[in-house]
Amino acid sequence: MTLVIGQRSIYNLGADLRSRLNGLYMATFFCGGAIGSAVGAWAFAEGGWLLASSLGLALPVIAFLYFLTEKRARI
């Protein structure tokens, strides 16, 4: 779902920027997946399920806390 929402934002831009931004977005998206896989494997090897699941809980919580600090326009 995140991929589709991100691409929707890109495809709403002008045609001259669309292909370059989409390529950059896809490369970043897949690099993030590869880094996440490597970090997950490292966490499991170092601390077992406890570290892997704690890291899996901590990262979304940190992202949510960051989201709460962002200023949004009132509707």
pLDDT tens per residue, range 7-66: 888 888 878 788 888 889 899 999 999 999 999 999 999 999 999 999 999 999 999 999
Residue 17 lies in a domain: yes
Residue 2 pLDDT? 74
Residue 51 lies in a domain: yes
Residue 74 lies in a domain: no
Residue 59 lies in a domain: yes
d(CA 6, CA 22): 9
3-state SS of the chain: helix, strand, coil percent to 5?
85, 0, 15
Residue 31 lies in a domain: yes
Residue 75 lies in a domain: no
Residue 22 lies in a domain: yes
Number of domains within the chain: 1
Whether this prediction's pTM lies above 0.75 is answered by no
Q: What is the domain range of residue 62?
A: 2-69
Residue 13 lies in a domain: yes
Contact 52, 40 (CB under 8 A): yes
